[in-house]
Amino acid sequence: MKMDTNNQRESEPTPDVVANYTSTKKVWRWLFISSAAFLIAWVLFPIYLLVVSALSSADVVNGWPKSFIPEFDLETMTFFMNYYGVLAALKNSLVAAAFTMIISIGLGTPAGYALARFDFWGKEAFRMIILLTRAFPMPLLALPLAVIFIQVGLDDTLFGLSLVHASLALPFAVLITASLFLGIPVELEEAAWVLGCNRWQAFYKVVMPLALPGLTASAVFAFVISWNEVFAAAVLTINNQTLTAFLVQSLSASPAEVKFAGGLILILPALLFLYVVRKYLFSMWGISNR
Amino acid sequence: MTTITIENIKKSFGDADILKSVTLDIKDQEFTVLLGPSGCGKSTLLRIIAGLETQDSGVIKIGERDVSALPPRDRNVAMVFQNYAVFPHLTVFENIAFGLRMKKVSDDKIKHNVERTAELMHIEHLLSRYSGQLSGGQRQRVAVARALAVEPDVLLMDEPLSNLDALLRLQMRSELKNVLEESKTTTVYVTHDQVEAMSLADRIAVMNEGRIDQYDNPDEIYRNPATEYVGGFIGNPPMNFLTSPHWSNSAPDGAQKLGIRPEDFLVSMEDQVGYLPVQIQTIEKLGSHQQLTSELEGQGLRINIASELPVQQGGILFLQPKPEKMRWYDVRGEII
């Protein structure tokens, strides 16, 4: 009889164990939700403060105590946008970012295609070296680059700056496009060849349309990298400053509310673009969003 | 007249010789199946005919034209791939029209050809769909229609049915046979499935480690396998091979092995003159017949016998190979 009861105890979990189990599950769930909430707040709270401050008048930004209800005042933003040099810097930033986008997609797409479709000598080395360009910090590179740029006459040009930004964006462009092309079955291209296409036509008619969303994402990513870059921009441009360089140098002495306005203008395009292409960034980082 | 002449084609990848001097003459309007296990080089040969791979040496002619050095687009061939390769960004209509558009055919002719081939493959109601909205079988139909629409000299098919489920494969097989007979296009078809090969082919080229062992019609391949390899590959269960059977006095000079199909025995339950005793090891009742695995003087032997014979596991059965069905093979495994 004693044996029997023992057996029964072992085979069926007691209510105690079940309760323990569900409460452990609850704890984990709670932990998960709270850490997710913490991480979201970590990112969103500064952005929230930035937006609120940028859209408040100078008095509110510098005053104390803070009101819980944010006010909506375009005075600071208007002041910032009319501040001498801002519009020119904004234009420079857009031009440099556009150049960067064109260079990194123009070079990155063929390189990515080669990585995806061909076996060539030194392929793995190439893959490594491409990443190596990101191994050196910009402060280390910026000064020698500035010297070389002065020698060849590229100093203080947006094109020169775009070259530097493209070198930052290219590794991503190459690796993203390579994985894009890997995802397109080679048989589709072969079918196109047999049906009368040469290599370029097959790429243009079959591969391109399928890769286009991903290529756009990778272009936008290059744009954002250039848009956000400060150090090289600050060192390599003087008269043709981009917005980041301009903000670093001109606004250090500005009142807080103007800094906030500048910050908002800086992060808006980046946020917007990243939001638009988030699906492709997830897939390139190996995170599924489904 | 679209013959295909393949002369001394060689191809190696690194150290591996995939094709060791392959020669093949395919007649006009003939349906040739390249049959062999994976790795025998059959797909490589097909891709060389298509121009998707380049041979190391040798000549390929389509009709009178030497196409050895031409890119795929200039060979006027069409190909159906194992995974269909239907363009996902185009409608079924545009998929079928793709090759015609590349040839700059007039819109009227494109419409006419697309509708005709779509009808032939029973997909005329799907013309405005995209490949994502189609089932595997429908995609396969689109791929075949796309290949036929360009009216190619040669149609190449690389295991086109192997991604379909069993029932659909049977249905597509007979349908394909009709369509291709009607289109009168010279066809080269790659498969590892011997039933598919036997049922579709005018002639089968059985490939073994980069060589063609035998190129003949299905009956001939089944009845007179040119090599031990062919006999062992074709037939289910395959041909029996018995090493130096001392009981037979009909062996020609140099004969090493006797090849005989499982169904080519006279069977008796009692000992008779000229019959050999075999011990039955396993019995598989297959309805129409029984398949026995038995042993004759230490060598395994598979026999198909009538289903009503009362055989028992471990029992003895008496056999006589039908003399006219016996095939002899020499040391190299070639038929004598």
Nearest CB among B71, B79, B103 relative to A191 is that of: B79
Whether the predicted pLDDT of A172 surpasses 70? yes
Closest CA to B269 of B199, B316, B312, B322: B316
Say how many domains are in chain A.
Answer: 2
Could you read off the pLDDT of A91-112 as tens digits, one per residue? Answer: 999 999 999 999 999 999 999 9
**Residue A288 confidence (pLDDT):** 42
Q: Is A29 among the domain residues? A: yes
| Domain B240-329, classified CATH 2.40.50.140, yes or no | yes
Structure tokens at B37: 């296990």
Q: Is A190 among the domain residues? A: yes
Q: Do residues A41 and A92 both lie within one domain? A: no
Q: Do residues A7 and A92 both lie within one domain? A: no
Domain that holds residue A214: 82-284
**Residue A9 confidence (pLDDT):** 47
How many Å from the N-terminal Cα to the C-terminal Cα in chain B? 36
Other CB atoms within 10 Å distance of the CB of residue A191: 29
Q: For residues A93 and A158, what is the distance between their CA atoms, to the nearest angstrom?
A: 9
Query: Are A194 and B77 in contact (CB < 8 Å)?
Result: yes
Give the domain ranges of chain B. 4-233, 240-329
Distances from the Cα of B18 to the Cαs of B63, B190, B207, in angstroms?
26, 15, 11
Q: Are B80 and B147 in contact (CB under 8 A)?
A: yes
Q: Is B282 exposed, middle or buried (0-12, 13-18, 19+ CB in 10 A)?
A: exposed
Q: Is A73 among the domain residues? A: no
Amino acid at the residue B115: E
Average pLDDT over residues A22-26: 83
- Residue B204 binned pLDDT confidence (cut-offs 50, 70, 90): very high
CA-based torsion, B239, B244, B250, B254: positive or negative: positive
Q: Is A290 among the domain residues? A: no
Query: Are A194 and B102 in contact (CB < 8 Å)?
Result: no
pLDDT-above-70 percentage for chain B: 99
Q: Do residues A157 and A97 both lie within one domain? A: yes
Q: Do residues A50 and A112 both lie within one domain? A: no
Q: Is A17 exposed, middle or buried (0-12, 13-18, 19+ CB in 10 A)?
A: exposed
Structure tokens at A128: 């490594």
ipTM for the whole complex = 0.87
Q: Do residues A21 and A100 both lie within one domain? A: no
Max distance between CA atoms of chain B, in angstroms, equals: 77
Question: For testing the chain B interface, which of A189, A194, A210 should be mutated: the one with the most B CBs within 10 Å?
Answer: A194
Whether the predicted pLDDT of B107 surpasses 50? yes
In the block, tokens 């075999």 appear at: B278
Q: Is A180 among the domain residues? A: yes
Q: Is A18 among the domain residues? A: yes
Nearest CB among A191, A196, A201 relative to B85 is that of: A191
Give phi and psi for B269, each to the nearest 5. Answer: -85, -20
Q: Do residues A247 and A157 both lie within one domain? A: yes
Identify the DSSP state of A205: I
Contacts 24+ apart (CB under 8 A), A4-8: none
Average pLDDT over residues A153-173: 89
Q: Do residues A121 and A260 both lie within one domain? A: yes
Q: For residues B239 and B133, what is the distance between their CA atoms, to the nearest angstrom?
A: 45
Q: Are B51 and B199 in contact (CB under 8 A)?
A: no
Q: Regarding the domain delimited by B4-233, which CATH topology (the fold level of the hierarchy) does it fall under?
A: Rossmann fold (3.40.50)
Chain B residues within 8 A of A196 when measuring between CB atoms: 73, 99, 102-103, 150
Closest CA to B162 of B49, B83, B80, B234: B83
Whether the predicted pLDDT of B72 surpasses 90? yes
Mean pLDDT, chain A, whole residue set: 82
Q: Smallest CA–CA separation between A173 and chain B, in Å?
A: 23
Pairing between β-strand B211-216 and β-strand B203-208 as defined by DSSP bridges:
antiparallel
Q: Is A64 among the domain residues? A: no
Q: Is A77 among the domain residues? A: no
Q: For residues B330 and B254, what is the distance between their CA atoms, to the nearest angstrom?
A: 6
Average pLDDT over residues A262-290: 71
Interface of B with A (CB under 8 A): 50-52, 71-73, 77-79, 81-83, 85, 87-89, 98-99, 102-103, 146, 150, 156
Is the omega angle on the peptide bond into residue B160 within 30 degrees of 0, that is, cis? Answer: no
Q: Do residues A30 and A89 both lie within one domain? A: no
Structure tokens at B40: 């025998």
Chain B residues within 8 A of A187 when measuring between CB atoms: 81-83, 85
